[in-house]
Structures are given as C-alpha cells and as structure tokens.
C-alpha cells in the first residue's frame, strides 16, 4: 500500500509536509533567539512559555503533515477494496431517517421526497422523519406531510439528548437491519447511495460507513466555509480510516443496527457522532470512509451561521476530551486499540478547534509581553543579515517568517488542492475572527454553563447592521482595540517590529465585527 512511487500527487504531498515543517521550525528558531537574548528571570519565563506554545503548535503541524501524506494512499486502498465487493444478492431492510428541529418545512419536504428516489427495492426501505420541533405549526405540517406520503413520523416533546436522543428513541421502535441518516438540509445527489455502500457490510464486524460531506456551491463566503469541512474529509478522514478511526459525521452514512445496539446507541451529547465513533472503536468494531459525495448540504451563507456551527463543534469537542479520558481509563486494560494511531487520532480531534483558538490567542498574548520586554528588536541592513556577529538578530527574522508562513500556508494549500488562494486567505482570517468564540465555547463546556455563554444573538436584519455586529463582537472589539492601542505605544517608542506585530493581530481580531456586519 505504501510503495514510494514518485508521482506528481506524491510530490505535492511532500511539498505540503515541507511547508508545515518549515512553519514549525521557524517558530522554534525564534524561540532559540529569545533564549539567546534572555537577560532576566522575566524574559526567561517568556522564552519558556513561547517555546511551549511553539512545541504545541509544532506537534499539530507535524500531525497534520502525516495526515496529508497518508491520505494520498487512501484512494488506492479504497479502490482495491471496492473491486473485491460483490453486488447485493439479497436486499437487507433499511431505515432512512431524517432528524429535524424547527426546520424549514418546504426544505424538509423537498429533501425527503428526493430521498425516496434512492435506487433500492421499495418494500425493503422505510422512511422516518424524527421530529424534535417545538413549534406547533411546524410539527403539524410535518406530521400531515408524513401521513400523506407513508413516512413514519416520530415526535417527542422534549429535547433530552438533542439529536442523539431523538435518534435513539426512533431506533427503539424500528426493526430495519441498517440505518441511513440524512440531515434536513441535505439534498441527495446520487441515488446509488445504498447499493454502493451496503456491499461493504459483507464484513460482519463493520459498524458503519461514512461518506464525504460537502455543502452546495454558493457565495465566496459559503464556499470558504465549505473548505473547513473539505480539508477534514479530503485529508484527515482518509488518514483516520486507515487507522480504523473514521469519524461517523452524523449524516450521509449507514450504520448496522445490531452494532448500534451493542454499542448502546448514540451517546447523548451535542456532537453525538464523534462520541459514537469512539464507542464503536472501543467495542472493537470496524469503520469505513468512502470519499464520494452522495448529498449536498445547504451552504452556510451568514457569519452568524458559521459562529453557531463552530460554537457547537468546539463545545462538543471540549466535552469529548473529558469523555475520552474517562472512557480510555476504564477500557484500556480490557480493550486493544485498533491501531497505535487510534488514541492520537481521538486526542487530536478533541483538541482540533481548541488548538486553533488556544494557539492563536496564546501567540497574541505572548506578542504583547515580548514586544514590551527587554528582548531587543532591531533593524538590520542586508549586509548585517549575512554577518555572523548578527546571528541572534538573524534568528529574530524567523518570528516574522513564522507568522507570514501561517498566513500563506492556507492560501497555498487551497490553491493546490481546491484551486483558490483567496479562499485560503479567508480561512486564515476566519480562524482569527472565530478564535474568541471558540474559546468561549470551550469555557462553556468546562464550566457546564452553556446558557451563560451565548454564541450569538440572532437578528433577522443582521446583514449590514452595525449595531448587531458590535453587540455580538464586544469581546473581539475590546481585544482588537487593546492591541491597536498597544501597537501605537510601541510605535511612538520606536519599537517598529512590536507596532507591526500588535497592530496586525488587532486588525485580524477586528475581522469578527467586519464579517458579521458584511455577511450577517
């Protein structure tokens, strides 16, 4: 599987690795510069903290590089596996379930009717609308629609366990052998969904098959948001699938009912899919990822929608870290991981969005302390750069190089893999704009006070509404204003490097307000 045949695709993967490794090395070299210039206990502590952050970021960069590299081989692996499959001789029963919660009724109707076009014997498939709607009119319309189209309607009056609780309840009454789940906003694009996926279940230890999830094309903003998921499904998910830790992503997948029951259903958390994937692995089941899009989700066209999505993801990921530690401690002596990579996959998944927010905020805080420390930041001529006596100042350059690389890396990667450098730059900006919201989500999960940390207050007239933008990004504005003010202090103190550093960070955090104003 891992023959080193040199192909253009492999060269691109090696180039990607070189980019991430260079980014990590640049940060570490700047750490070395700080240690060279230590002149007090205070600056020594700063150097140690910066080194710790750089090592933490470097670990994730190296891990990402490994994922990118190993994902190159997955297409070959899955193609060979699919060639060994035999067409279905008999057709097992399938429950196609669509969980809904106060969704647009017209969209639910359209997408559910499209699911009935799945190419599969009609007497072997049953459709369910699993409704948690609290709006009485929505519930009534959905119930009437289901009744007139012979679709099972399962409703409950409380939202205990969220989506997981709704599915667990519906599945108690279902008798089908397999479960296919689609979200209410997903429109089927390939009717061969079941005939393509069910043959993989000839392996009786296979618990679920997950397919690639993408959003429909829309605006520049929504297409950029789509790339958040695209990077995961193009690179991280294939790497995980090779380790038998492919994440069940909540929809566009098929689960074996008997495995579902042995696992104990969906753990009732806000990101039930990640928890379910872990439980599947701990119960020694196999999982599989198919890099093919069978349905397209509704694009996220507003910044408000993105904040709510990222809030839910990071809130759930933070819960998952605690859950993973407890479950791993209880089962490690009895259960063997499917691969040596498996625990690392779950650690990295739980810390994923936390990493993006914590590292950015930590580097921001460090930039303030370093800028106003006694560690020198001086100008050099071109001649001085190449003189050995200026080696410590030369190392200083790598601080700027690391920041510039972190900015252009997404642009390079999106250009190579998705044909758009501009969307990569937008991803860089979005990570800063979302950093504080993600951090708040983590704090809400840790403190178990989700109601005290509202992700955003929804306003129908949010696009182009400056009051709405300011009211929902007060923390970001305070942080940005503080950094810009400190940058000005650095400037009038002739600390040009500190001025550039702090002002750039301030502008990046201010993008939260700008994006909320522009996109609503």
In tens digits, the chain (520 residues) has pLDDT values of 444 456 666 677 777 778 778 878 878 888 887 887 788 888 898 889 888 888 888 888 888 888 888 888 898 899 999 988 988 889 999 999 999 999 999 999 999 999 999 999 999 999 999 999 999 999 999 999 999 999 999 999 888 888 999 999 999 889 999 999 999 999 999 999 999 999 999 999 999 999 999 999 999 999 999 998 898 999 899 999 998 899 999 999 999 999 999 999 999 988 888 999 999 999 999 999 999 999 999 999 999 999 999 999 999 999 999 899 888 777 655 555 666 788 888 888 888 777 778 888 988 998 888 888 766 555 445 555 555 555 445 555 666 666 777 777 788 878 887 888 899 899 999 999 999 999 999 888 888 776 555 677 766 667 888 988 998 999 999 999 999 999 999 888 877 778 888 999 999 999 999 999 999 8
Nearest partner of 67 among 114, 125, 20, judged by Cα: 20
d(CA 42, CA 203): 60
Which residues, in sequence order, are bridge partners of residue 152?
128
Burial class (CB in 10 A: 0-12, 13-18, 19+), 438: buried
Task: Give me 386's structure tokens.
Answer: 């190449």
Would you state the pLDDT for residue 146?
96
Q: Could you tell me the strand order of the sheet in which 206-215 lies?
A: 152-155, 125-131, 94-100, 178-181, 253-256, 206-215, 286-297, 187-188
d(CA 405, CA 400): 9
Would you state the pLDDT for residue 100?
95
User: H or E element: which one contains 162?
Assistant: helix 162-173
Question: Coil, strand or helix: which one is 6?
Answer: coil
Would you state the pLDDT for residue 9?
65
Is 180 within 8 Å of 94 (Cβ atoms)?
Answer: yes
Report the interhelical angle of 496-519 vs 303-331 (nearest 10°). 110
151: left (phi over 0), alpha (psi -120 to 50) or beta: beta
Report the interhelical angle of 220-231 vs 421-447 (nearest 10°). 70
CA distances from 272 to 342, 355, 421 (A): 19, 21, 34
CA 258 remoteness from chain centre:
29
Burial class (CB in 10 A: 0-12, 13-18, 19+), 128: buried
Q: Where are the domains of the chain?
A: 8-72+354-519, 87-301
User: H or E element: which one contains 377?
Assistant: none
Would you state the pLDDT for residue 2?
46
Burial class (CB in 10 A: 0-12, 13-18, 19+), 88: middle
Which is it for strands 187-188 and 206-215: parallel, antiparallel or unpaired?
Answer: unpaired
**Site of tokens 């890396």:** 409
Nearest partner of 262 among 242, 244, 282, judged by Cα: 282
Task: Give me 429's structure tokens.
Answer: 């900006």
Is 270 within 8 Å of 316 (Cβ atoms)?
Answer: yes
Nearest partner of 483 among 500, 461, 471, judged by Cα: 500
Burial class (CB in 10 A: 0-12, 13-18, 19+), 70: buried
d(CA 291, CA 417): 15
Report the top-level CATH class of 87-301: alpha beta
């Amino acid at each position: 599987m891992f023959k080193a045949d040199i192909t253009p695709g492999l060269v691109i993967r090696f180039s990607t690795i070189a980019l991430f490794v260079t980014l990590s090395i640049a940060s570490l070299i700047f750490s070395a510069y700080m240690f060279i210039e230590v002149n007090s206990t205070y600056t020594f502590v700063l150097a140690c903290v910066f080194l710790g952050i750089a090592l933490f970021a470097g670990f994730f960069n190296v891990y990402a590089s490994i994922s990118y590299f190993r994902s190159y081989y997955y297409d070959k692996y899955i193609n060979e596996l699919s060639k060994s499959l035999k067409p279905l001789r008999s057709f097992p029963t399938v429950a196609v379930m669509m969980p809904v919660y106060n969704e647009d009724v017209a969209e639910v109707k359209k997408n559910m009717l499209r699911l009935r076009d799945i190419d599969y014997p009609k007497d072997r498939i049953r459709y369910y609308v699993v409704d948690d709607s609290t709006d009485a009119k929505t519930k009534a319309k959905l119930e009437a629609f289901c009744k007139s189209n012979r679709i099972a309607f399962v409703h409950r009056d409380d939202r205990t366990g969220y989506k997981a609780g709704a599915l667990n309840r519906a599945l108690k009454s279902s008798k089908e052998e397999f479960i296919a789940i689609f979200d209410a906003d997903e429109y089927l694009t390939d009717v061969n969904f079941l005939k393509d996926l069910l043959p993989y279940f000839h392996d009786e230890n296979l618990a679920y098959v997950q397919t690639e999830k993408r959003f429909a094309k829309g605006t520049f903003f929504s297409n950029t948001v789509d790339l958040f998921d695209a990077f995961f499904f193009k690179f991280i998910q294939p790497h995980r699938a090779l380790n038998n830790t492919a994440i069940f992503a909540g929809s566009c997948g098929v689960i074996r009912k008997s495995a579902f029951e042995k696992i104990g259903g969906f753990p009732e958390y806000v990101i039930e899919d990640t928890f379910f994937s872990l439980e599947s692995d701990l119960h020694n089941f196999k999982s599989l990822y198919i890099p093919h899009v069978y349905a397209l989700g509704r694009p996220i066209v507003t910044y408000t929608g993105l904040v709510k999505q990222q809030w839910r993801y990071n809130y759930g990921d933070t819960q998952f870290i605690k859950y993973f530690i407890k479950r791993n401690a209880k089962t490690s002596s009895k259960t063997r991981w499917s691969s040596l990579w498996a625990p690392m996959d779950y650690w990295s998944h739980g810390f994923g969005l936390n990493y993006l927010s914590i590292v950015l905020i930590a580097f921001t805080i460090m930039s303030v302390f370093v800028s106003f420390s006694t560690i020198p930041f001086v100008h050099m001529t071109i001649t001085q750069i190449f003189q050995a006596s200026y080696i410590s100042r030369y190392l200083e350059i790598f601080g700027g190089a690391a920041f510039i690389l972190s900015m252009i890396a997404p642009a390079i990667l999106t250009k190579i893999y998705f044909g758009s450098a501009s969307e990569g730059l937008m991803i860089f900006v979005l990570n800063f704009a979302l950093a504080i919201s993600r951090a708040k989500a983590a704090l809400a999960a840790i403190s178990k006070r989700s109601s005290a940390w509202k992700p955003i207050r929804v306003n129908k007239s949010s696009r182009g509404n400056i009051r709405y933008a300011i009211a929902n990004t007060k923390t970001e504005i305070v942080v940005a204003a503080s950094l810009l003010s400190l940058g000005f202090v650095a400037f009038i103190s002739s600390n040009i490097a500190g001025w550039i550093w702090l002002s750039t960070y301030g502008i990046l955090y201010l993008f939260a307000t700008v994006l909320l104003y522009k996109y609503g």
